[in-house]
Structure formats: C-alpha cells, structure tokens
Structure 1
C-alpha cells in the first residue's frame, strides 16, 4: 500500500525533464545511486520512487533501480516539482588557459582548486570561475558542472578539458569511454624499487568501512587499468609517468599505493613522506615541502570532435612540482621547461 501512495504522490507532481550523459565517473553505478548523484536536489529514496514510477529512462528504456549504468549511456530523468535552478555564483580567478578554440577550452588547473560546487564548496570552484568568464558551455554534465567532461582531484594539478557545446561534450565523452584519450600524469612516489615499467589491473570500488576511499582490492564489475613508466630514481623516491586507461576516482593514487609506492604528500592512501631519519636528510626535507600529493595531469591527447585533428595538450608544471623536480631530480630539469 505504501508504494502505491508514493507513486500516486509522484504522479500528481509537475515535472521537468533533464537528460544526462554518463561519464566514466559514474560507470558501473547502480541506477538509483547515479540518478541521486546527477540530480543534487533529490535523494536516493526519491530516485528509487521515480524509477518505480517509470520517470527514469536509460537509453530510452525502463530499467530497475539496481541496473548498472555504463559510460556513454543517456539517462533521462523527469524531476518532480523542480525548484528554480540555483544560480552559480561567478568567482574571479585566473583560468590559466593553455588551449582554446570555438569548441574546446583546456586549462591548467592549479593545485588546491576544487573543480565543481558540492558540499562545503558552493563558490570559489573552477566552475564558478568558468561562469565568470562569460563563455557558453555544454549542459550534459548537469547544472553544477557546465562544460565538465572529466574532473581532477582538488590537490591534483594539470590539464582539464571543458566542452563549449553538447555535441563536443558527447564526442569527447565517447572517446574517454572508448579509451581513445591518452592521459599522462607525473607522480613522485615513495620507494626507488618500483619497476621500470608495468601495468596494474584490478577491480575497483569503495573501501569497505570508509566510503570516502577507494581500493583495487574488492570484488567489483568495475575494472581499473593503469600503466606506468619510471623516469628517474633516488635513494628515497622515484619519478614516474602514469597512464590511466580507465578513469576511476583516485585511480592512480590507489593503484600506486597498493603497489607499495604511495605518492609523496598523499595523506589518504599511504605514508605521505619518508620516515623520520631517512637519508639523505636534504632530500627528505625537500620532499616534506610538498604539502599536497605530488600528482600532475601532464598531458591529454584526443581527436577534436569537430575538426577530426589529433591534439596533444601539455600542462606546464606548477611551482611546487617544479621545485620538487629541481631539488630531487636535477637530471630531469627538461620537464620544467
């Protein structure tokens, strides 16, 4: 009886229809959890009611609440009594543009900058700065994520792509899904014993007991693949290039940590710095000056959805990462140019 009442209440509401393109960030999610994440104004229980009332379609078809969505799918949601959309507050800030044309904006995100509004961060994010720029962006990511095709963690610096239209967004999202986007990250990791190169393949999901963290040591239908190559070593650390073939949240940080080589400065997924008393002390001191995780989205290569041209966009290293290279890996100074 209760379900019938809930559906009756939903059927009496006015609806506003919104359509979302599933990106890699939500690949493999349950449909009810995905809808709740895409539409901040509704809870998971409301999402379940909408699914039961046939107000949610996946690629035009009705699906159960536990159905697993995949990147590239389209989810259409009829949102009940949609309130007036919250206006995103423009925030002043340098966008640090490294590439722009009529269709795409590529930025070098500074470390410490949150990408989009969320709990505790309603202003001062990269999205707020995009709004302040006066440009037009795609809407497929939802009202709080204009133009965002992918994202970077708060502490991660480097290349992030912004789509100026829905057609471009769809084209880029398809390439991410089909693994046609080549991404390279620079990372400084603890332990010089890391192999010259390798590939890490694992299931991937939230860590049992702490859903804020992720792990590759769970049974899941979500796979994660990271390739890496070691560029240089010292007695304490190594400089590696990591290439994620999938786009799971915290993927590189998790994979390198669970390999036994956590990223310097990462307080979530491992010991952040060499142990006290590590030598040489001058090197250990330089490493401790890195106050965030030493991960930089170095380059992204993709095919332009409109022109068909293959582009590779490289983000110069930020000041803190340059200092780390200069003091710890002087033989790799060419990376700083």
Structure 2
C-alpha cells in the first residue's frame, strides 16, 4: 500500500487512527482486541463485519488480515454504552469558516477511547447542524477552555496552517505550588517523546528540544500560585509535563508526575489548567482575532488546602 494512496482517503471526523507497532504481528482482530482490552472482542468482530475498520489506504480490512507492516489502522467510533458527561460547552463565536467553543473540564474534544457522543465535536455537530465540523488543534479532556474548530472544509487548511507555522498565540492559566524561581518570566525547553507509565503519556528525553513554554507567576495565594503559560510548540501534554518536570505539577493532575486516576464519574478534582486566550490573524478575512474563555479555575485556593 503506497503512501500516495493512503493520503487520498479523507478520514471522517468520527473515525479514529491507531498506530501499529513495527513488531506487531497476527490479525487485525487480534491486534484490536489486545490494544483496546476494554472493548469486547465481539464488538470488534461486529465493526469489522460492518466495514468499520480500514487499512492505511482506506480499504476495509477482514478480521484475519495481517497487521504486520501496516503502520496504522482506522476504525469508526462506536460504543454501545456511554456514560453521560454532565457538563456543557459554550459557543463563543460562529461564522462561515470557524467555530470557537469554550470547553468544560472532563469533556473530550474528539472521539477516542471510551468517548464518542460524549465529546465536544459530536455535541456541536448535532447542536449546530454541522456534520463537517472538525477540531483544528488538540486540547486534553482534563483541560478546560478554548477550542477552535473548522466549519468549512474548503478553508480548513488555511487555519491548520496557522497552527503548523506557530502563528496562533496561545495563553493558558494553571494553578500549582508557588516557586520563587518563576516570579520572573522563565523559558523551559525540552525534548518530548511518547513514553512513561502508560501508552498515552509523554516524557522528557535527552536530545535537541522540540518543545518550549514561557511561564510566569501571575498571582500568589499562600503556598499556591496562578501561573500564566505560553506554549510555543504544541506537543501532547506539553504544559502538564513541563510543569511537573520543573517541580510544580499542576493541581489535580492525574497523570504527571504520577498516575493517580480518579474513579469513574468523580468530577471533584478538575485539572487546574485553562486555555484562556487565542489570538491570530484570520487567514480568510485578514482580521485580528482574539478570543477569551469565560471560565475560571478554582482560585484562590484555600491556604489550608495543602498539596495532594
């Protein structure tokens, strides 16, 4: 299967992609059942029968198709029993080309893992009548704040280019322990790669930096501080990993520096990270765009609330 063929298949928003390690062997059904152990093997058999699992060229795969050398698979999101998430997003802006949403904590942006309909994308597609809606960048489900989505496939690449060329100024807020080192602006640069205790976590490794974050304390309340964070690059979990690596992990972070997952349905400890502001020059209209979240972190923190 050539790369040229694979790039011609336009993956719909409700399809996900999963990487196939170079050492993988066996069948498509065996690989998916092992990779997603929380999904029953019979569910994967049903999806494959419905042509909802495809190879890198977009062609449906049979259950017995070998996965060696494929590189990745596509699969259509489908869940038989999905737990509702009791928080709603707010639409701050909508025009012919983009939608700006203000996402709550705990709501995933796009279908993944145990989430399909309980995602920002699917909710907005239904509510706005925009099946072509697609997110233009990532935001963790644990993080609240601004998400920019494309509403027009004809102009989506122009907005994607802004992120690829780092022309979108992003500003976040976070609550973490006070550290006098960060009273003044501080740059943290590191090389980030996939790794860590779980498949979805990141880690810092030796080598040429591929991520950079400017941070500074904006306000202090006893042992706690509210930080202003400005990522230059857009690596997965960048702010969470950088803060933990500096010794000031973000309050209520369930992954960094240690895995500490809350029980399912426990919404009492939202990650204290907020995508506060987005600023860019609109590639279609040429106008300067500035959007700001209406949400707030748990601030100030009760001084008696010590570090978890």
The answer to whether TM tops 0.5 is yes
SS at match of 2:234: coil
Quick one: which of 269, 281, 288 aligns to 1:303?
Answer: 281
Q: Describe the superposition over 1:285-305 as per-residue Cα deviations: whole angstroms up to 9, x where unpaired.
A: xxxx97121000000011212
Write the distance in 1 (CA, Å) between the matches of 2:216 and 2:118. Answer: 35
Decide whether the 8 Å contact of 1:194 with 1:261 is kept in 2: no
Q: Distance in 1 between matches of 2:226 and 2:268?
A: 14
Contact 2:280 2:288 in 1 (8 A): yes
Deviations 1:246-268 (A, max 9, x none): 11111001101111111111132
Q: Check the 8 A contact 2:77/2:111 in 1, yes or no.
A: no
Q: Which of residues 170, 173, 176 in structure 2 aligns to 1:189?
A: 176
Unaligned runs of 5+ in 2: 26-55, 63-73, 260-266, 304-308
* Equivalence for 1:72: none
What corresponds to 2:102 in structure 1?
Answer: 108
How many residue pairs end up in the alignment?
Answer: 246
Q: Return closer, same or farther for 1:220/1:123 CA change in 2, 3 Å cut-off.
A: farther
Map 1:48-59; keep pairs closer than 5 Å. none
Match in the other structure for 1:285:
none
Can you list the C-alpha shifts for 1:179-228, whole angstroms capped at 9, x where unaligned? 11000001011133242211111111123554332122x13566001001
Q: 1:203 to 1:46 in 2, by over 3 A?
A: closer
Encode CA deviations 1:17-68: one digit per residue, 9 max, x unaligned: 4147xxxxxxxxxxxxxxxx9645x8556999xxxxxxxxxxxxxxxxxxxx
8 Å CA contact 1:265, 1:290 repeated in 2: no
Give, in angstroms, the shift of residue 123 of structure 1.
2.4
Match of 2:58 in 1: 79
- Which of 124, 127, 146 aligns to 1:133? It is 127
Q: Cα RMSD over matched residues?
A: 3.7
Secondary structure of the corresponding residue to residue 180 of structure 1: coil
User: Contact 1:15/1:82 (CA < 8 Å) preserved in 2?
Assistant: no
* TM-score normalised by length of structure 1: 0.63
Residue 93 of structure 2 is aligned to residue 99 of structure 1 = yes
Structure 2 CA distance, aligned partners of 1:228 and 1:39?
A: 33
Structure 1 distance, partners of 2:7, 2:167, is 34
Give how far 1:328 is off. Answer: 5.3
Q: Assess if the C-alpha contact under 8 Å between 1:205 and 1:220 holds in 2.
A: no
Shift of 1:122: 2.5
Instruction: State the secondary structure of the residue aligned to 1:170.
Output: helix
Find the counterpart in structure 1 of residue 113 from structure 2.
119
Indicate the structure with greater helix content.
1
Paired residue for 1:34? none
Structure 1 position 293 matched with structure 2 position 271: yes
**Structure exhibiting the larger radius of gyration computed from Cα positions:** 1
Q: 1:179 aligns with which of 149, 166, 180?
A: 166
**Would the aligned equivalents of 1:16 and 1:80 in 2 still touch at CA under 8 Å?**
no
In the superposition, relative to structure 1, how do residues 260 and 45 fare at CA in structure 2: closer, same or farther (>3 Å)? closer
Q: Give the match for residue 223 of structure 1.
A: 210
Give the alignment partner of residue 202 of structure 2, picking from 199, 214, 219: 214
Cα distance between partner residues in 2 of 1:252 and 1:116 = 20
CA contact (8 A) 1:137 1:165 kept: no
Residue 325 (str. 1) matches residue 304 (str. 2) = no
Cα deviation, residue 168, structure 1: 2.9
Residues 81/17 of structure 1: CA separation in 2 closer, same or farther (3 Å cut): farther
Q: State the alpha-carbon separation in 2 of the partners of residues 169 and 160 from structure 1.
A: 14
